[in-house]
Amino acid sequence: MPLFGTTAVATPARPTFAGQLSGRFGGQSAAMARFVYVGTYTFPGTAPGSYTSGDFQVFRINGDGSIGLMTDNFASIGNGTGADPDRQEGPHAHQILTDLDGNHVFGVDLGADKDNVWNLDSGTGKLVPNTVPFAPIASGSGPRHMSFHPDRQHAYVLSELAFSVTVFDYDRVRAAFIWEQTISTLPADFTGANKTGEIRIHPNGRFLYTTNRGHNSVAMFRIEPETGELNVIGWESTRGEWPRGMNLDPSGSFLYAANQNTDDIAVFRVNPANGELQFARPRHAGAKAVLSRHRILARKPADDRGRLAGDGPRVRGLSKESAAFGDERSRIAATDAGHTHKRAGLTRRVER
Q: pLDDT class for 9, splitting at 50, 70, 90?
A: low
Q: Per the domain annotation, does 122 fall within a domain? A: yes
Mean pLDDT of 144-148: 97
Say if residue 203's pLDDT is above 80: yes
The per-residue b/e assignment along 23-44, b for 16 or more CB within 10 angstroms, e otherwise, is beeeebbbebbbbbbbbbbbee
pLDDT of residue 11: 52
For the stretch 23-26, contacts whose Cβ atoms lie closer than 8 Å and that sit 24 or more positions apart, written own/partner, are 23/102, 25/100, 25/101, 25/150
166 pLDDT tier (thresholds 50, 70, 90):
very high
Q: Tens of pLDDT along 79-101? A: 666 778 888 888 889 999 999 99
**Higher model confidence: residue 308 or residue 9?**
9
pLDDT 10s digits, 15-31: 333 333 333 333 345 55
Distance, in Å, from the CA atom of 115 to the CA atom of 177, rounded to the nearest integer, reads 10
Q: Are 2 and 47 in contact (CB under 8 A)?
A: yes
Task: Give the structural domain span for 108.
Answer: 4-342
Cβ contact 183:313 at 8 Å: no
For the chain, the domain total comes to 1
Instruction: Give the torsion sign (CA, 91, 247, 277, 238).
Output: negative
Q: What is the pLDDT of residue 10?
A: 65
- State how far the alpha carbon of 180 is from the alpha carbons of 115, 132, 155, 165, in Å: 16, 18, 10, 11
pLDDT at position 222, please? 98
Which stretch, 17-21, 241-245, 347-351, has highest mean pLDDT?
Answer: 241-245
Find the range with the poorest average confidence among 25-34, 68-77, 137-146, 261-270.
Answer: 25-34
- Asked, for residue 257, whether it belongs to a domain, the answer is yes
Q: What is the pLDDT of residue 47?
A: 38
Distance from C-alpha of 169 to C-alpha of 91, rounded to nearest angstrom = 25
Q: Could you tell me the pTM of the whole model?
A: 0.75
CATH code: domain of residue 290: 2.130.10.10
Strand partners, 184: 164
Residue 232 is assigned to a structural domain of this protein: yes
Is the residue at 42 inside a domain?
Answer: yes
Q: 308 in a domain, yes or no? A: yes
pLDDT of residue 83: 75
Over residues 278-335, the pLDDT tens digits come to 999 766 655 343 333 333 444 444 433 333 333 333 333 333 333 333 443 333 333 3
Please check whether residue 349 lies inside any domain of the structure.
no
Would residue 294 count as lying in a domain?
yes
- 173 DSSP assignment: T
C-beta of residue 234 within 8 angstroms of C-beta of residue 297:
yes
pLDDT digits (tens, 9 = 90+) for 41-92: 554 443 333 345 688 999 999 999 899 999 999 988 876 667 788 888 888 8
Residue 161 covered by a domain: yes
